[in-house]
Amino acid sequence: MKKKIILSIFLLILILTGLGVYCINGDKISKNVYVQNINIGDLTKDEAKDKLSSEYKIQSFKFNYKEKTWDIDPKTLDINYDLDKTINKAYDVNRKGNIIQNIFKSLQNLAGIKTKVNLVISCDEDKLKSELEKISKEVNKDSKDATIKIEKKKVKVVKEETGLKLDIEKTKENFIEDINKGKSTQKLVVSQIKPKIKSSDLKGIDTLLGSYSTTLYDSGYGRVQNIKLATKKTSDVILMPGETFSYNKHTGVRSAENGYKLAHVISSGKVAYGIGGGVCQVSSTLFNAVLYSGLDIVSRTNHSIPSTYVDLGRDATVSDSGIDFVFKNNYKHPVFIKNNYKDGVIKCQIFGYKSDKKNIEISTKYGYNITTYRTYYDNNKKEIKKEAVCTSAYLSRSH
């Protein structure tokens, strides 16, 4: 009995081996081999190529994101099907392994188990990238930080908006991989860009920390336009804890290309005409609002001669050559800068958390140099501390 079992197993091995060798050595593709949904099993390479050529047509491709779809013509990307490589892959299904693996694969196919082979497809990756860059212009959206609006003297928080950015490289990689799997529709890979400032960061801004106004006596067209422009560029700014505000960074270079006009300026101790005249009145007004708000002064320089719109020691000049007015938010909460020009008056305001509100008085001490002091008081008007903020030295005014 035992000898019969051994003999039967031996005969079965011989039969399977012979069958496997027959399958491998034939010039046809193994049975039940499919390219996409097309059966090219039991065909020669030439027969398989004819069948794929007649039944498989180049189709359009689609990219989609949410409800929007972009149709891409294969010709645009120079998409080509490499039938020879595809058929060679199909032909090697039961030939690429060792003898046991190949026999086993042949028997699987003979038993009706399907083997799927991906169509080998090539495309011009530079052209694909170019098409994705076009699509990105429709998909991409800048994130928007939460901000503040002042409406009827009340503080209103405007909610942030999440941005979108198409990941071109990842979408390209996925597309090339998927078209070789027979997929004609590809989802765009889009990343969300989180805003830096959220509405939750600003919900406590409800109090005016400091405010100051100056009057415009020189109402020449150029000066008015410069003041309007500088006021706008330095307004509606959220300054987070520890951040600094650079006046020059916000106004940009004072040039005709940037919209600034000719007006009176102070240069080398004299009043002359220059591009951007008037922007120092805005910086000086803002300087005083910052003083009253209790924010730290990082960099401030006085004019070479006294200004007409603020007292001595209360001005802040700026220039494109490097003189800047810089201050820092030294509080644990964000502050909001609101500047406005209307009817000949520049008004600068600093809003923040009620807990950061300080009772402050500004004074100056005259001497060879002028020192500007900031004095803090408690609710009972008792002095808490007094600090020297800056020192100024002026030439006598001459024209």
Distance CA 43, CA 55 (A): 15
Distance CA 384, CA 179 (A): 73
pLDDT score, position 19: 58
pLDDT score, position 152: 83
Are residue 159 and residue 224 in the same domain, yes or no? no
Distance CA 135, CA 265 (A): 49
Distance CA 241, CA 153 (A): 24
3-state secondary structure the chain: CHHHHHHHHHHHHHHHHHHHHHHHHCCCCCCCEEECCEECCCCCHHHHHHHHHHHCCCCCEEEEECCEEEEECHHHHCCEECHHHHHHHHHHHHCCCCHHHHHHHHHHHHCCCCEEECCCEECCHHHHHHHHHHHHHHHCECCECCEEEEECCEEEEECCECEEEECHHHHHHHHHHHHCCCCCEEECCEEEECCCCCHHHHCCEEEEEEEEEEECCCCCHHHHHHHHHHHHHCCCEEECCCCEEEHHHHHCCCCHHHCCCEEEEEECCEEEEEECCCHHHHHHHHHHHHHHHCCEEEECCCCCCCCCCCCCCCCCCCCCCCCCCEEECCCCCCEEEEEEEECCEEEEEEEEEHHHCCEEEEEEECCCCEEEEEEEECCCCCEEEEEEEEEECCCCCCC
Q: State CA 26 to chain mean position distance.
A: 59
pLDDT score, position 399: 37
Are residue 316 and residue 236 in the same domain, yes or no? yes
**For every one of its 399 residues, what pLDDT tens digit does the chain have, with 9 covering 90 and above?**
666 666 666 656 645 654 554 455 478 888 888 877 788 788 888 887 777 777 777 677 899 999 999 998 888 888 877 777 877 777 877 888 777 777 766 777 677 777 787 777 778 889 999 999 999 999 999 999 999 999 888 899 999 999 999 999 999 999 988 887 778 888 999 999 999 999 999 999 999 999 999 999 877 899 999 999 999 999 999 999 999 999 999 999 999 999 999 887 877 667 777 788 899 999 999 999 999 999 999 999 999 888 889 999 999 999 998 899 999 999 999 999 999 999 999 999 999 999 999 999 999 988 778 999 999 999 999 999 999 999 999 887 543
Residue 181 lies in a domain: yes
pLDDT score, position 15: 57
Distance CA 29, CA 330 (A): 77
pTM for the whole thing? 0.72
Are residue 141 and residue 185 in the same domain, yes or no? yes
pLDDT score, position 353: 97
Are residue 267 and residue 144 in the same domain, yes or no? no
Are residue 233 and residue 373 in the same domain, yes or no? yes
Are residue 285 and residue 136 in the same domain, yes or no? no
Residue 139 lies in a domain: yes
Residue 172 lies in a domain: yes
Question: Taking the chain, what is the end-to-end CA distance rounded to the nearest angstrom?
Answer: 128
Domain boundary among 197, 215, 246: 197
Residue 253 lies in a domain: yes
Residue 92 lies in a domain: no
Are residue 255 and residue 372 in the same domain, yes or no? yes
Question: Which residues fall within 8 angstroms of residue 41, CB to CB, at 6 or more apart?
Answer: 29, 30, 31, 32, 33, 34, 109
**Which backbone phi and psi does 389 adopt, to 5 degrees?**
-85, -45
Are residue 191 and residue 215 in the same domain, yes or no? no
Domain count, the chain: 2
Are residue 152 and residue 208 in the same domain, yes or no? no
Q: Give the domain extent around 273.
A: 204-392
pLDDT score, position 398: 45
Are residue 193 and residue 339 in the same domain, yes or no? no
pLDDT score, position 181: 75
Are residue 241 and residue 341 in the same domain, yes or no? yes
